[in-house]
Amino acid sequence: MSEERAAVLAEEREVLQSIYVDELEEIDEENLRIRVDPEEGLSGPAGQEGDALEPPTLALNIKYTQKYPEEAPEMSIECIGGSVPEQGIQEMQAELHTTAEESLGMAMVFALASQLKESLTAYIARTKQIAEAQEQDRRNAEIEAEAEKFRGTAVTAERFEAWRVTFEKEQKELKQKADEEYVRSTLKTAKEREEYRKLAARPTGKELFAKGGQMHDDKAEAEAEDVEGNEVDYSLYSREERERQRREEEERAEREARERLHDSDDE
């Protein structure tokens, strides 16, 4: 070892000893090892239980070459705490070589250790940010999936019309089945069944109102004429009067139908 190189190494070791009191390990005159931790206060990404993991710790292994500091020392990175994937180690190694190239001709171990600390800190922060983003995406997906359970189909005019047609068809079929069951189980004679069908065929109050309050069966048409055979002019009545007459006619017709049914039961 030349006197000039020996002086450079001795001076650098003295500086490193004063900076890395607990982190520096001097293996021999040509080899040393420095423990590198990330910046203080930086935690690792959350683990499976949700608690933050301890950040990884690295070791920078330095082996001086014969031409140091005119050439870079041999350098290697070792993970001595936590976990860093090989790709992360390779990225940090590449950044060390860049720093070494920029520092040729001067003592550079401190600059290399500082660069590794910076690279490790940036790597942990980046990894944590990615992990948090992935966790947020997972939570958003869960929230969206849960909200989807309570989100109905948007109602449009076309969908409502299709639903209405289906609904009315189903209701008509249910009513028909109920009527058939009633006729089968309750009405014993042909006359009773015929009277019931006539009563069921009469328009409902809603249907009459939709038609302007006029009844179109033969009996209603006959009753709509006066004693001289002239049709009643409903335009002469107020709307309230026409509605009152319509209700009376409907109630009377239903009452007569019930009386006919009652008379047939007595027979």
pLDDT exceeds cutoff 90 at 18: yes
Q: Which of 97, 123, 147 is the last residue of a domain?
A: 147
* Cα separation, 15 vs 5, whole angstroms: 16
Residues comprising the chain, all counted: 267
H-type helices in the chain, by residue range?
3-19, 86-102, 109-149, 157-186, 190-201, 205-210, 218-223, 239-266
Q: Could you report the per-residue pLDDT of 30-83, keeping only the tens digit for each? A: 999 999 999 876 765 555 555 556 889 999 999 999 999 999 999 999 999 988
Count of C-beta atoms within a 10 Å radius of residue 260 = 15
Tell me: do 247 and 161 sit in the same domain.
no
Instruction: Give me 48's structure tokens.
Output: 């499976």
Tell me: do 40 and 107 sit in the same domain.
yes
Tell me: do 34 and 58 sit in the same domain.
yes
Tell me: do 81 and 206 sit in the same domain.
no
154 or 164, which is more confident? 164
* Cα separation, 30 vs 28, whole angstroms: 5
| Residue 89 CB partners (closer than 8 Å, separation 6+) | 77, 79
The fraction of the chain above a pLDDT of 90, given in percent, is 42
Predicted local confidence at residue 225, as pLDDT: 46
Range of the domain at 16: 3-147
Tell me: do 168 and 126 sit in the same domain.
no
Q: Please give the tally of structural domains in the chain.
A: 3
- For range 195-204, the mean pLDDT: 71
Predicted local confidence at residue 146, as pLDDT: 84
- For range 134-148, the mean pLDDT: 88
pTM to 2 decimal places: 0.53
Predicted local confidence at residue 224, as pLDDT: 45
Q: Could you report the per-residue pLDDT of 97-114, keeping only the tens digit for each? A: 999 999 999 999 999 999
Q: Which residues pair with 74 in a beta bridge?
A: 63
Tell me: do 203 and 178 sit in the same domain.
no
Q: Which of 119, 147, 175 is the last residue of a domain?
A: 147
Predicted local confidence at residue 128, as pLDDT: 86
DSSP 5-62: HHHHHHHHHHHHHHH-TTTEEE-SSSEEEEEE-PPTT----B-TTSPBPPPPEEEEEE
CB 26 within 8 A of CB 16: no
If you average pLDDT over every residue of the chain, what do you get?
Answer: 81
pLDDT exceeds cutoff 70 at 262: no
The fraction of the chain above a pLDDT of 70, given in percent, is 76
Residue 72 DSSP class: P
